[in-house]
Structure 1
Amino acid sequence: MTPEFAPASDATLPLWAVWSDDPLPPDAGPWPAAAGFKAQAGQICLLPGADGALRGAILGLGDRARAGRDRFALARAQSLPAGDWHLAALPQGLDPDEAALGWLLGQYRFTRYKGTPGPSARLVCPEGVDADRGLAIAKGEFTTRDLINTPASDLGPDKLEAAARALANEVGAKVEVICGAALLKQNFPLIHAVGRAAASDPRLIDIRLGDEGPMVTIVGKGVCFDTGGLNLKPGGSMGLMKKDMGGAATALGLLQMLARSGDAAGLRLRVLIPAVENSVAGNAMRPGDVLASRKGLSVEVNNTDAEGRLVLADAMAYAAEEQPDLMISLATLTGAARVALGPDLPPFYCDDDAAAQAIQAAGMRVADPVWRMPFWDPYEAMIEPGIADLDNAPSGGMAGSITAALFLRRFAEGAGRYAHFDIYGWQPAAAPGRPKGGVGQAARAIMAALPQLTGR
């Protein structure tokens, strides 16, 4: 589906948004009090006219002091009756850009397999808000959510390639794909090893947009389904593995945001997606195998379920050969990150203090929070096994997100700056602007930080 604003019209209905300590609109009359309206978060009071027809509504925003992460409060207004609405007044402390984007994000529904979107409540874009920019961000987020929510039966590596080609065509980007046996011929042994047991061939999708300015390369993990390989996941852990391409989905959504908003101007953008399915078959990689990598480092596979860092490693080594000014990896990589920070706050790793501060500050500013974690050098020994250069799954289980980041950093050498995001890509329970299901994380934070990260 496509996010949209309503056209300005005299026929739109007024919507008042109020914090719980705000006075009610003066012309609301006695009806809100009689209806028990307390302006609790998400509470809606419909206002009847003298003839009984709907004349407007009041939306409760809750406690102003406790809004916190729940910044897209206006997304709750999607439960209003279908029709076109305008904000009659914007309460103090509610940013108009956030209000507009919150409304747009709240429009999202995944209806590919069930139901048809019916008429919905639409908002006239508030005065002073850049409507095109808000729509670009929301559209990119919708793309990310649609890709994550689509099951692997309809989104294997081949279908992910088709989606990437369609998006590239939309924004005027160029695409090259290396697939199947060609991965071995062109020296991408890790990508091939992870994906060779699947029905759909592994591939590396390479998208480029722009031909001048700082080079920004985004590498997104595209594991379309992860069984765990021969280290088979239990059923309870496999159930959400259609989301294991959330890094790729977020990278594509971010590309769409940057291109449609105009923020891609003056940049050379490159998106690399190693697209595979980690399956079980007679030719699957085995625990204990030692694999070559594009960079020349050997990797001992001590857990076939730690495959994401393998496919990223080859793609990142390829990207680093071009010495980009900034390289970013996005991946649903470790359960350890969720144990540490939960599903809503993805950690990121960056050795450059100024860049890290810019990313974290931008994330808070645009309500897309991320949290810096350390590339802790004393743990380097944990990723160095006895018989190979690197270990893809250090024993002991401690510091799992950090050791995965350290593993990836070995393949980022050559990039001017590098940041790795260990995202979850899934919203376990509905929240304002974030329905249950696939969700983009870190894209808006990166987008907001890019001017500082690239010196533009």
Structure 2
Amino acid sequence: MSFRFAEPDADTLPLHVVESDGVEGFLDAHPEARAWVEAAGFTGAIGDALLIPGTAGTPVAAIAGYGTAATRRRTRFALAAAVARLGRHSYRIASGLPESAAEEEALGWLLSGYAFTRYAGTTPVVAGLVAPEGIDAARIEVLAVSEALTRDLINTPASDMGPADLEAAARELAQTYSASIEVTTGETLEAEFPMIHAVGRASPRAPRLIDLRWGEAGPTLTLVGKGVCFDTGGLNLKPGSSMGLMKKDMGGAANVLGLARSIMALGLPLRLRVLIPAVENSVSGNAFRPQDILTSRKGLTVEINNTDAEGRLVLADALALADEETPDLIISMATLTGAARVAVGPDLAPFYCDDDGMAAALQAAGSAQADPLWRLPFWDPYEAKIEPGIADLDNAPAGGMAGSITAALFLRRFVTDTPNYVHFDIYGWNPSPAPARTKGGAAQGPRAILAALPGALGL
């Protein structure tokens, strides 16, 4: 999978993008194609596509349906829906694609070439696209490769994506972009990051904290990604129906690594730090238990009322470390709560932010980048729900209400000095295929964050 735009040559075909109500206008402008297009029943609906032959019978052009404004509001990467029907030719956009949509549709076209083929299958051969005029082609290629990295990491089963494998992926990224990396394990991890150690100690695959740094000058950004490589639920064992997708519980780590790759590949003028607590939440005789009280790196004590609420524990120690340097911005990403899925479903990435300007910039960037976000509140009146009395904090408040909010409030307790903190409670998975988005691992939030960074950090 190259995720690169095609170079124009003599064999490049013109592609006309045609809306549903523009078919007749297209045929008026191209009367030589009328009989062929009408016989094929082309309607201009999203996903409709047709090669147009010349007098010799070989294709001389193609048309792709673009639906209506109403159907496009319901479909990200609408043009990508037609790619599979355009064969193996290369195309240049000849007409019909709005300039404002060119970047989104170009990215969608490249992402149509993604497939997870590590264990079976072949890489799809999709139609090539010459970069539309006016877009930053190099940037879009970077975004496509970065998203493919995120998808690959999430799609890889836990048998081949444990803490050490996640570390290897981070090391490969660091080597590619001349970043430094340190990994904390063993007795040092137990002493300095006690909650990361407690969650991961029951697994034979040792827990660790991955710490990557890149950049020598500029504002400081720290990304923290939940790297729970598989989550059994611990002693509060998940039922089988809930455990089936837990290979994706390191989706936060996968998303921050994809975002970090984009930042480094594009050479943004900032100092980047990536922290990933990588663990497997397993069951054994030394697993942490319900009613245990853990002391975090920050010194706050945490009562364990559910061992299946482990993601916030490992993130808390990593956030405490991040906060000690008071970077300009900390962003955490995690497949943290089922409550977030109940609230907004799998398609939206909910986020929490106390800064209204930052929140507005993220939401606007999400819309512009076809990477939709939805702000949820750090709701201060719910703080009491995470205070059990016997310890400073409760990792799983009783009652079952506002679970995503109380988890976010829990994490915020570990960021006390940094001026701006944003938390993403993502799903990291497409439950069904869609244009440019295969079923499986998903990037949620990185493109929006990347677009919002210049304003947020003054780049």
Give the structure 1 partner of residue 315 of structure 2. Answer: 312
Deviations 1:69-124 (A, max 9, x none): 52411222330211222212243365221221111111111111112225321111
Q: 1:298 aligns with which of 290, 301, 310?
A: 301
Asked whether the equivalents of residues 304 and 395 of structure 2 are also in contact (C-alpha less than 8 Å), the reply is yes
Residue 105 in 1 paired to residue 111 in 2? yes
Deviations 1:110-143 (A, max 9, x none): 1111122253211111122211101011111000
Distance in 2 separating the partners of 1:54 and 1:112: 34
Give the structure 1 partner of residue 172 of structure 2. Answer: 166
Give the structure 2 partner of residue 139 of structure 1. Answer: 145
Query: Partner letter of residue 46 of structure 2?
Result: A
Query: Partner letter of residue 167 of structure 2?
Result: E
Q: Offset at 1:309?
A: 0.2
Q: Offset at 1:208?
A: 0.5
Flag structure 2 segments of 5+ consecutive residues without an equivalent. none
Q: 1:375 aligns with which of 373, 378, 382?
A: 378
Q: 1:192 aligns with which of 179, 194, 197?
A: 197
Give the structure 1 partner of residue 78 of structure 2. Answer: 73
- Equivalent position SS for 1:414: coil
Residue 20 in 1 paired to residue 25 in 2? no
Distance in 2 separating the partners of 1:273 and 1:81: 41
Residue 53 in 1 paired to residue 55 in 2? no
- Equivalent position SS for 2:366: helix
Q: Offset at 1:64?
A: 2.0
Give the structure 1 partner of residue 388 of structure 2. Answer: 385
Q: Offset at 1:327?
A: 0.4
Q: Offset at 1:54?
A: 2.3
Q: 2:408 aligns with which of 396, 405, 409?
A: 405
Distance in 2 separating the partners of 1:85 and 1:106: 15
Residue 42 in 1 paired to residue 63 in 2? no
- Equivalent position SS for 2:159: coil
Asked whether the equivalents of residues 227 and 241 of structure 1 are also in contact (C-alpha less than 8 Å), the reply is yes
- Equivalent position SS for 1:413: coil
Query: Partner letter of residue 35 of structure 2?
Result: P
Give the structure 2 partner of residue 87 of structure 1. Answer: 93
Alignment of structure 1 residues 144-293 onto 2, 5 Å: 144-185=150-191, 187-262=192-267, 264=268, 266-293=269-296
Q: Offset at 1:172?
A: 1.6
Query: Partner letter of residue 371 of structure 2?
Result: D
Structure 1 residues 333, 15: closer, same or farther in 2, change over 3 A? Answer: same
Q: 1:119 aligns with which of 96, 120, 125?
A: 125
Distance in 2 separating the partners of 1:82 and 1:181: 55
Deviations 1:287-308 (A, max 9, x none): 1110110000000110000000
Query: Partner letter of residue 144 of structure 2?
Result: A
Distance in 2 separating the partners of 1:55 and 1:134: 28
- Equivalent position SS for 1:67: helix
Query: Partner letter of residue 62 of structure 2?
Result: A
Give the structure 2 partner of residue 63 of structure 1. Answer: 68
- Equivalent position SS for 1:364: helix
Asked whether the equivalents of residues 115 and 124 of structure 2 are also in contact (C-alpha less than 8 Å), the reply is no
Deviations 1:159-183 (A, max 9, x none): 0000010011112211110013320
Deviations 1:396-427 (A, max 9, x none): 10000000000000001111100000000000
With 358-367 and 219-228 compared, the bigger mean Cα shift is at: 358-367
Q: Offset at 1:324?
A: 0.6
Distance in 2 separating the partners of 1:49 and 1:302: 70
Q: Offset at 1:217?
A: 0.4
Asked whether the equivalents of residues 97 and 134 of structure 1 are also in contact (C-alpha less than 8 Å), the reply is yes
Query: Partner letter of residue 10 of structure 2?
Result: D
TM-score (norm. length: structure 2): 0.96
RMSD: 1.3
Asked whether the equivalents of residues 137 and 261 of structure 1 are also in contact (C-alpha less than 8 Å), the reply is no
Alignment of structure 1 residues 371-450 onto 2, 5 Å: 371-450=374-453
Structure 1 residues 93, 19: closer, same or farther in 2, change over 3 A? Answer: farther
Query: Partner letter of residue 73 of structure 1?
Result: A
Query: Partner letter of residue 97 of structure 2?
Result: P
Q: Offset at 1:433?
A: 1.6
Distance in 1 separating the partners of 2:125 and 2:367: 33
With 58-67 and 34-43 compared, the bigger mean Cα shift is at: 58-67
Instruction: Report how many residues are paired.
Output: 453
Asked whether the equivalents of residues 149 and 258 of structure 2 are also in contact (C-alpha less than 8 Å), the reply is yes
Q: Offset at 1:29?
A: 2.7
Q: Offset at 1:445?
A: 0.7
Distance in 2 separating the partners of 1:92 and 1:143: 29
Give the structure 1 partner of residue 4 of structure 2. Answer: 4
Deviations 1:371-405 (A, max 9, x none): 11111111000001121100000001000000000
- Equivalent position SS for 1:87: strand
Q: Offset at 1:158?
A: 0.2
Q: Offset at 1:5?
A: 1.2
Distance in 1 separating the partners of 2:50 and 2:83: 13
- Equivalent position SS for 1:110: coil
Q: Offset at 1:49?
A: 2.2
Give the structure 1 partner of residue 134 of structure 2. Answer: 128
Q: 1:322 aligns with which of 321, 325, 341?
A: 325
**Which structure has more helix as a fraction of its residues?**
2
Asked whether the equivalents of residues 65 and 82 of structure 2 are also in contact (C-alpha less than 8 Å), the reply is no
Asked whether the equivalents of residues 330 and 420 of structure 1 are also in contact (C-alpha less than 8 Å), the reply is yes
Distance in 2 separating the partners of 1:235 and 1:145: 23
